[in-house]
Structure formats: C-alpha cells, structure tokens
Structure 1
Amino acid sequence: MKKNIAVIGTGYWGKNLVRNFAALDALYVICDIDKDKLDYFKTKYPKILTTTSFREVLQNDDIKGVVISTPAALHYNMAKEALLNDKDVFVEKPLSLRIEEGKELVQIAEERCNILMVGHILHYHPAVLKLQELVNRGELGKIQYIYSNRLNLGKFRTEENILWSFAPHDISVILMLLGEMPRGVAAHGSSYLNKNVADVTLTTLDFQSGVKAHIFVSWLHPYKEQKLVVVGDKRMAVFDDISDEKLLLYPHEIEWVNRIPVPHMKDA
C-alpha cells in the first residue's frame, strides 16, 4: 500500500488511528500541535514523518488522504480545508457540530469528487452486520421499536456535549438498520458538571414506518453499558458491545388469549 495518509490529532482516539494506518503501511505523516506527542511517535515510528503544521500537510501533493481526529469543534474547518485542497477526508464523529456545516462538507466533497467519510465504526462490526442481515431477511418481523443505551462514568469533555460524543454511534446504526431518515427528532438533556455542556441526553427518533427509536446517553453513570435492542413482532435482538456474547436473538412470542396479550418467554 502506498504511504499517502496523514493523521491529524493524536489524542484519545487519534493514537489508535496512527497505529492502524501505520500497520497498513499507509501512514506518511503524523500531525499534532503537541511536540511531546510527536517525539513519542518519532521514537515508535522512526520512518514516518511528523509535523505541527496542518497547512504543511495540505500543501503536500504526496498526501492524498487526511484523517482528522481533533476536538469536534475543529472538524468542520479542517475537513473543509482538506477537501478544498483536493484531499480525501476521513473525519472522526461527529462530522460537524452544525447541520449546515455538515451539509456544506457533503456538497463540497460531491462537487470535487472527493471521498468524505465519517468514522462510524459500528457499521463494520460483525455483530451489527449480522443484526442488519437479520432485519433485512425479516427474521425479527416488523420492527416495532429500537432503544439504545450508551453509558459510562467519563470520559468527560468540555468542547462537546454527551450527545455529540456518544450518540452518533447509535444514531448511525439505527439509520442503517431501518434504511430511512426520521420524520421527527426530539432531544432533551441536562447539565450537571458544566453549565453549558449536557452530561445526559434522551433522544427520540420518529420514523414514517411507525418505528420509534430511543437513545439514552450519559457520561455521568455508575456503570458502563453499550447496548442496542431491536424489538420486532416475531423476535427481539440485543447487541451488547461489552458482553462476550455480542448479539443475542430472543424468540419470544406473544399469544392473544381472550383479547389479552400473553407473553411466552424463550431462551436466547
């Protein structure tokens, strides 16, 4: 593989992207404003270039793809600059913090025939792909509702709220499973640690098909949970990303007896 990728930002998640692109032998340069981090990567990857200048990356014609893993508030401007300099762009979620900015980035990429990809990594998770297969084959029957919990104690952020930090994963999976966009969205949040940064949010997506999806995210929670439940009129499925058993299928049945629904529980 040709080395023509630049990774911008080597923080909490960026260091993983550095590792992965280096393993693919595709990494050309690492860019970060923190010289101490760059010194570390120089030692770990002596054959890979480093720089503190994003402008230098954009002006280098040998670099074809830019991977952006900076704070969320910087995503829009950096992605836009990269696209306008004819780079393909992979940007960590969220794509931007404003709808208008996200639409603009998509438009620029389409007009310039550049790749613009967001790091919705769960789209490639084997258990999620299997869940999508079950939904598409009708194994769950008609989907009635979906809910997801993404909860933890930390990692606290000040540059983005919990909705931007956690919920994009679940929203992207729900949209993939249903194959439709919501006709209505309602989100409610509360701030406890920082006045203007929501620590907990509950979001409801309402779809034309009649499905409702509920997303509960919090970084102020006593335990970690990453679970998505899909309830159909034939079967129910649970994707639990922190369990050894990532995907369980529950063949529960509902029988109507004298116009009263009676559940028949079955093992997963």
Structure 2
Amino acid sequence: MEQSTKKNIACIGAGYWGQNLIRNFFNLKVLHTVCDSDPERLKAIKANYPGISLTPEIQEVLQNPEIQGVVIATPAETHYSLAKRALISGKDVFVEKPLALKVSEGEELTNIAQNKELILMVGHILAYHPGIATLKELVAKGELGKINYIYSNRLNLGKFRKEENILWSFAPHDISVILMLLGEMPVEVSASGGSYLQPGVVDVTVTTIRFASGVRGHIFVSWLHPFKEQKLIVIG
C-alpha cells in the first residue's frame, strides 16, 4: 500500500491573508487546525470549514503531535518569534513574507531549520508565477543578452497597515524575484522613504540595488498611489 506523504497543517493567523492560506490548505485536504486570538474569526472559520480544529492558543498547536507543519500568517513583527517556536517544537514551517525583520533573525531561523532537518519556506508566491518562470528561463538562456538593469513598481491605494511599513509589506515580492532572476546577492543596498499617514510607518519607499556583476536595479513601492500598478522591467 502506498503511504501518503500529506501532512497535517495548522494555520496560525486567520486575518486578511491567512484566510487565503486556510482556504487553499483546506482544499488540499491537509488543514488540521486554525489558531487565532480573535473568537469572531474562529467562529467564521467553524462555519466555513467543517471538521477543522480551532484554538486561540499557539502552544496547543505546537504541542500537538498530529500536526507536522505550521503556517504563519500573522503581523510581520511576530514572524521570527513564532517561526522559531514552531521549529524548536519540531514542526516544518511556512511563513508569510517577510521571514523576519532583521538579517540576524533570518539567519538564526535558517540555522535552526538546517540543524533540525526541517522545512522553512517563505511565501514568495511570485517565484511560482508562470510569467516569472518564463522570464527566468529567458534570462538563463541568454535570450535577453547581458542583463544591465532591473526595476519594479508595486503601487496601490491601500491596504494601509499599522504593524509594518510599505517596504516590508510590498517590496519582498520584488526583491525575491530580482534575486531569483540574477542568481546573486547584492553588494550594496540603500532605501529611502516617507511617512505621511501614521508617524513611524513609512508609506512610500525607493530602494536601489547594486550587484557585483554590474547589474543595478530599483524598487518603487507605495500604498499611497492613485492607481494600481505592478510592473517588472528587465533591460538587457
């Protein structure tokens, strides 16, 4: 008899994006538990997803031997601490971007996962977009010649956040794609921006990147823009 490789998954966070993940894992028939501190959200999950276990307690998820993997869809500043707890508990982890808010925290999580031979995956969904996959293939085959410059715009009016700024909310998509296309890490990065709606929460940023290969790029992100635009340009 062929043994199933499917794992029981728990989703921590049932907010705006967590609801998408819950739906997808439920449709894949691997969703075991949903964890959220908001009783109204859990009530809605119970109505829409029969048979799924519900809990407001994260520790209950981490101590459950029936759960092999944890999905983290909580505010960005909690990603590091929750992912660390899940990994230490022996769970595979899928965490929404960004992985962490400090390089040292991201490196620590990576080391824990490697040492415990666990999966640690970040939700960089554009890496699986067919258009991006085709673009990567064109770059790898040299169809675009020598890559000189890459820029991206990710602009919208909203969704405004209090927990994280626009750089952490929007730019990880574009950063992940640029790094994947070039296959190298930058040697220089600078970013500047401004806060206009809430003190201390940046609404607009422009990031410039320089690579050892000579490629340069910039990333313009804003949730304070009059129209929606998602654009990635590769110049070779």
The residue that corresponds to 2:29 in the other structure is 25
Identical-pair percentage:
66
SS in 1 for 2:174: helix
The residue that corresponds to 1:36 in the other structure is 40
State the TM-score, normalizing by the size of structure 1: 0.85
The residue that corresponds to 1:226 in the other structure is 230
SS in 2 for 1:143: coil
Shift of 1:176: 0.2
Residue deviations 1:207-246 (CA, integer Å, cap 9, x gap): 00000010000000010001100001xxxxxxxxxxxxxx
The residue that corresponds to 1:45 in the other structure is 49
Structure 2 letter corresponding to 1:106: T
Shift of 1:199: 0.5
Give distance in 2, aligned partners of 1:144 and 1:3: 43
In the comparison of the two structures, how many residue pairs are matched?
232
Q: How does 1:196-235 map to 2 (within 5 A)?
A: 196-232=200-236
Residue deviations 1:170-217 (CA, integer Å, cap 9, x gap): 000000000000000011111111121110000011000000010000
Structure with larger Rg:
1
Give distance in 2, aligned partners of 1:215 and 1:172: 11
Residue deviations 1:87-134 (CA, integer Å, cap 9, x gap): 000000000111111111111111111100000000000000000001
Shift of 1:3: 5.2
For residue 151 of structure 2, the aligned residue among 135, 147, 150 is 147
For residue 134 of structure 1, the aligned residue among 138, 141, 160 is 138
Counterparts in 2 of 1:3 and 1:112: CA distance versus 1, 3 Å: closer
Higher relative contact order (Cα pairs below 8 Å, separated by 6+ residues): 2
8 Å contact 1:72–1:97 — kept in the other structure? Answer: yes
8 Å contact 1:75–1:95 — kept in the other structure? Answer: yes
Structure (1/2) with the larger helix percentage: 2
Structure 1 runs (4+) greater than 6 angstroms displaced: none
Give distance in 1, aligned partners of 2:102 and 2:90: 23
State the TM-score, normalizing by the size of structure 2: 0.97
Q: How does 1:5-84 map to 2 (within 5 A)?
A: 5-84=9-88
8 Å contact 2:126–2:177 — kept in the other structure? Answer: yes
8 Å contact 1:7–1:66 — kept in the other structure? Answer: yes
Structure 1 letter corresponding to 2:187: R
8 Å contact 1:82–1:88 — kept in the other structure? Answer: yes
| Structure 2 unaligned blocks of 5 or more | none
Q: CA RMSD in A?
A: 0.8
SS in 1 for 2:213: coil
Counterparts in 2 of 1:211 and 1:3: CA distance versus 1, 3 Å: closer
| Structure 1 unaligned blocks of 5 or more | 233-268
The residue that corresponds to 2:166 in the other structure is 162
Residue deviations 1:136-172 (CA, integer Å, cap 9, x gap): 1111000010000000000111111100000000000
